[in-house]
């Protein structure tokens, strides 16, 4: 377990009851307390436990143990916000997680029983989207798409100021088909955005084209430095992403598209050509503002905290749960 220095309070969380925020990732579980003044305390990181016989049960047990440790050290909280990956329906059931291996696990119910507190369960990408909308780069927007570009690609949607979840199934931008004759995707479809433009796809495509095995950030750096192979791979990823965002724009006309996740660390190397590519694909109608995510890798933890606060405040925007 390790600790980051305390994160400065972000505007907008506001005062309220203290809550526990938990963000479950593939390798680590981040845990932090949001205090009464809206300040997020130090984020503790625990290795995500694995047990093929009970993949979600061991995660809930690890969270309960982390919460008990915090309580023993004097922390007090009235609810828990829990962000989990995979597909999460609106009742807080982890429908499945390819990476962590669970299927149809009732997180809200089991976590509430293990922790003895009300629990708001939210999908990790939607948690990050919620945080960017309340506190970050989509603040004040009525309609927004917050896109996470990492190993996979997914989006959180805000429509009329509220998260839109499609019962838990909306936002699968990574599996929208952007090139019917494109590469096959891990999901079984052909030409998904994720198979062309995710960090994983960029690494694999660069290597398959004859480049060395380097990470996605390095492919982007090489593209910037003029490596023709890297430029081709990166530009095709940008164009596929612009194509996907053009569909989102045609359908939902968001005011702003916020780009987060590992690939967004590329900054202007992503934003500038993406804006240009999107403009070429949208000759009429509005074009959304493209912004880089403001909360970085802590967005999911902030979102979990906000979901817990919302639960106590009786807002049912994102998650519902009862002890």
Point out which residues bind Zn ion (CB under 5 A): 175, 185, 187, 189, 192
Residue 196 or 242 with smaller CB distance to Zn ion: 196
Shortest reach from residue 194's CB to Zn ion, in Å = 5
Shortest reach from residue 179's CB to Zn ion, in Å = 12
Residue 196 or 319 with smaller CB distance to Zn ion: 196
Shortest reach from residue 166's CB to Zn ion, in Å = 17
Q: Of the candidates 175, 226, 224, which has an alpha carbon nearest to the alpha carbon of residue 201?
A: 175
Shortest reach from residue 149's CB to Zn ion, in Å = 15
Shortest reach from residue 174's CB to Zn ion, in Å = 6
Q: Which two tokens stand for residue 216?
A: 């996605």
Shortest reach from residue 250's CB to Zn ion, in Å = 20
Residue 78 or 189 with smaller CB distance to Zn ion: 189
* CA gap 216, 222 in Å, rounded: 10
Residue 185 or 270 with smaller CB distance to Zn ion: 185
- Tell me if 144 sits within 8 A of 257, measured CB to CB: yes
* CA gap 103, 36 in Å, rounded: 35
Residue 185 or 259 with smaller CB distance to Zn ion: 185
- Tell me if 263 sits within 8 A of 270, measured CB to CB: yes
Q: Of the candidates 125, 178, 183, which has an alpha carbon nearest to the alpha carbon of residue 154?
A: 125
What is the phi-psi region of residue 224: left when phi exceeds 0, alpha when psi lies from -120 to 50, beta otherwise? alpha
Residue 162 or 175 with smaller CB distance to Zn ion: 175
Strands (E), 116-212: 119-123, 144-149, 153-159, 162-164
Residue 140 or 166 with smaller CB distance to Zn ion: 166
Shortest reach from residue 172's CB to Zn ion, in Å = 8
Burial class (CB in 10 A: 0-12, 13-18, 19+), 50: exposed
User: What are the CA-CA distances from residue 81 to residues 85, 107, 112, 130, 308 (Å)?
Assistant: 14, 11, 10, 12, 4
Shortest reach from residue 183's CB to Zn ion, in Å = 10
For β-strands 119-123 and 80-84, DSSP reports them as: parallel
- Tell me if 13 sits within 8 A of 309, measured CB to CB: yes
* CA gap 290, 200 in Å, rounded: 23
Residue 117 or 185 with smaller CB distance to Zn ion: 185
Burial class (CB in 10 A: 0-12, 13-18, 19+), 232: middle
């Amino acid at each position: 377990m390790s600790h980051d220095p305390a994160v400065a309070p972000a505007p907008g969380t506001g005062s309220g009851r203290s809550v526990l925020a938990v963000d479950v990732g593939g390798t680590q579980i981040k845990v932090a307390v949001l205090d009464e003044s809206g300040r997020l305390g130090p984020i503790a990181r625990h290795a995500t436990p694995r047990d093929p016989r009970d993949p979600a049960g061991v995660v809930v047990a690890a969270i309960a143990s982390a919460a008990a440790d915090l309580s023993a050290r004097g922390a007090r909280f009235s609810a828990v916000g829990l962000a989990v990956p995979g597909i999460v329906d609106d009742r807080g059931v982890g429908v499945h997680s390819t990476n962590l291996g669970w299927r149809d696990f009732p997180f809200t119910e089991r976590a509430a029983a293990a922790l003895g507190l009300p629990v708001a369960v939210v999908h990790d990408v939607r948690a990050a989207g919620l945080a960017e909308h309340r506190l970050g780069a989509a603040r004040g927007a009525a309609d927004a798409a917050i896109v996470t570009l990492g190993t996979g690609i997914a989006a959180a949607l805000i429509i009329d100021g509220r998260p839109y979840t499609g019962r838990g199934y909306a936002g699968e931008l990574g599996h929208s088909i952007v090139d019917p004759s494109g590469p096959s995707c891990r999901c079984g479809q052909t030409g998904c955005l994720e198979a062309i433009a995710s960090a994983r796809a960029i690494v694999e495509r660069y290597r398959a084209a004859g480049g060395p095995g380097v990470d996605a950030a390095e492919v982007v750096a090489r593209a910037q430095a003029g490596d023709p192979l890297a430029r081709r791979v990166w530009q095709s990823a940008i164009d596929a992403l612009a194509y996907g965002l053009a569909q989102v724009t045609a359908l939902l006309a968001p005011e702003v598209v916020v780009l987060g996740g590992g690939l967004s660390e590329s900054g202007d190397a992503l934003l500038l050509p993406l804006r240009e590519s999107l403009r070429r694909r949208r000759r009429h109608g509005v074009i959304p503002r493209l912004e880089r995510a403001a909360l970085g890798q802590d967005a999911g933890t902030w979102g979990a905290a906000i979901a817990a606060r919302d639960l106590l405040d009786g807002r049912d925007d994102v998650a519902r749960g009862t002890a």
